[in-house]
Amino acid sequence: MSPISLHRRDALVGMAAAALTPTTAGLSTFGLGATFAPVPARAKTRRYDLRPVEVAAGVWMIEGAREVFAPANGGAIVNIVLLETRQGAVVIDTGSTLGMGAEIRAFADDRLGGVATVVNTHHHPDHWFGNGAFADRQIVALPQTAAACAQYGQDFAASLYAILGPWMSGTSPLPASGTTEAGEARIGGRALRLLALSGHTQADLAILDQDSGTLIAGDLLFLDRAPSLPDADYGIWLKALDRLAQLQPSGTVPGHGGFHRSSAALAQTRAYLEATRARLTQAADLGLAPIEAMSAGPAPAFAALGANPEEYLRSVIHRWADHETEALPLVGGL
């Protein structure tokens, strides 16, 4: 983000503030969240009752709901993986809230001998907003991921407070303090291969657990849950899928969706990206306005995926300009 666009963002917040002046008690604290009716505080912190399942030897998975952020799910919409090692668990992603992170931490402490290290696969908040529960441990991410977390953390927090309300209690963004890079790593005797890819975002870390052959794909793979495209680059993402296809893992944990021993997520994510790209290209090329493209809904084959149509609607908003630039010839200027 250039300094100029930072100002522009301020300008928008300024619009909100000016409009809400008489009634906005919480604006400075929660930013955008203040535009919502206050959520009544609950006496007791809510619990997620996360249920880790050992999907492969020493590979524990906590499966998220195949939904978008909603008060009913508290942000438990993302897959978390804990790899058992002699030095404790390697925790891959930490969930959407401090409370969720704390439950993951408790499982690692009680059952896996503590926490060896924490890895954030990318900067989307469901993958790292639980970092606060691991503040005393090493937390690493790709350099671009850590930078994006620092840059957008407060915006994410404002949105998530507005959506999740009391679930967010105590949560504040804690970006990874350490960086990691592509290559082989050995932690507590466990051999890992880290792949620095991109396409879902500007930096997407995938991890191959060499001991079990399990691929922890982060959000490069989705299964039976619509992929999130707000920060996507279709072409780069498809190339990343080619890389993942070469790994031939024994099993796969996608960022969202179930553990599986086939190439289902790879095929489905590829098909979804290609179909959505083609749909929006067609919409822009037919002269549709973005609201019409939204109203038409996802490509029919993917309409029933978890988190659709919400994810599709987001995709139109964030990706529309790319397609429109292709569809509209340059005809003049200043």
Partner 1 sequence: MGALLTSLLPGGDRPLILPATGAAAVGGDPFDSGMWPLHREAYLGKEARWSNDPAIAVLAPKAAENSAHVPFLIDATALPGRVDEILVTVDYSPFAHAMTFRPGRALPFLGFAVKYEVAGALRASARIGQDWHVGAAWVSALGGGCSAPSVAHARPDWQLGFGEMRARIWPETGRLRVNIRHPQDTGLADGVAAHFLTELFLLDADGAEIAALDLFEPLEENPSLTFLLPQDLARGEVTIRARDNLGNGFRGKVSGAEGAP
For the segment 27-86, give every residue that binds partner 1 (CB under 8 A): 32-33, 35-36, 67-71
Give the bridge partners for 208, in sequence order: 193, 215
* Both structure tokens of 93: 């992603």
Q: How far is CA 65 from CA 70, 79, 229, 302, in A?
A: 10, 9, 18, 17
CA dist., res. 15 & res. 224, Å (int): 39
Q: How far is CA 142 from CA 96, 175, 203, 248, in A?
A: 19, 11, 7, 23
176 lies in the site for partner 1, by CB under 8 A: no
Applying CB under 5 A, the span of 12-20, 132-140, 190-198, 215-223 interacting with Zn ion comes to 215-223
Of partner 1, Zn ion, none, which one sits near residue 235, judging by CB under 5 to 8 A according to partner kind?
Answer: none
Q: Give the shortest CB-268-to-partner 1 separation in angstroms.
A: 18
Residues 139, 122 contacting (CB under 8 angstroms): no
User: Taking CB under 8 A as the criterion, which residues in 113-152 touch partner 1?
Assistant: 123-126, 148, 151-152
The helix (H) or strand (E) run that includes residue 215 is strand 214-216
Using the rule CB under 5 A, which residue among 204, 219, 252, 298 binds Zn ion? 219
219 binds, among partner 1, Zn ion, none (CB under 5 to 8 A by kind): Zn ion
Question: How many residues of this chain interact with Zn ion, rule: CB under 5 A?
Answer: 2
148 binds, among Zn ion, partner 1, none (CB under 5 to 8 A by kind): partner 1
Region 313-332 residues binding partner 1, contact defined as CB under 8 A: 313-314, 317-318, 321, 324-325, 327-332
What letters, b where the CB count within 10 A reaches 16 and e where it falls short, cover 318-327? ebbebbbeeb
Q: Which of 62, 162, 185, 195 binds partner 1 (CB under 8 A)?
A: 162
* Amino acid in position 212: S
Region binding partner 1 by CB under 8 A among candidate stretches 52-60, 101-109, 159-167, 249-257: 159-167
Question: CA–CA separation, 261 vs 317, rounded Å?
Answer: 34
Which residue's CB is nearer to Zn ion, number 124 or number 137?
124
Which of the choices Zn ion, partner 1, none does residue 173 contact, using the CB cut-off of 5 to 8 A by kind? none
Q: How many residues bind partner 1 (CB under 8 A)?
A: 81
Q: Contact region for partner 1 (CB under 8 A) — 110-118, 160-168, 177-185, 237-245?
A: 160-168
The only residue of 53, 245, 291, 304 in contact with partner 1, by rule CB under 8 A = 291
Q: Are strands 139-141 and 53-56 parallel, antiparallel or unpaired?
A: unpaired
Q: Which stretch binds Zn ion (CB under 5 A): 31-39, 213-221, 272-280, 287-295?
A: 213-221
HSE of 122 in the Cβ direction (CA atoms, 13 Å)? 26
Single out the residue of 82, 108, 283, 305 in contact with partner 1 (rule: CB under 8 A): 283
Compute the Cα dihedral for 45, 48, 54, 60 and give only its sign: negative
**Distance from C-alpha of 80 to C-alpha of 94, rounded to nearest angstrom:** 7
- Pick the closer one to partner 1 by CB: 209 or 231: 231
22 binding partner 1? (CB under 8 A)? no
C-alpha span between 157 and 160 (Å, rounded): 5
Q: Which residues bind Zn ion (CB under 5 A)?
A: 124, 219
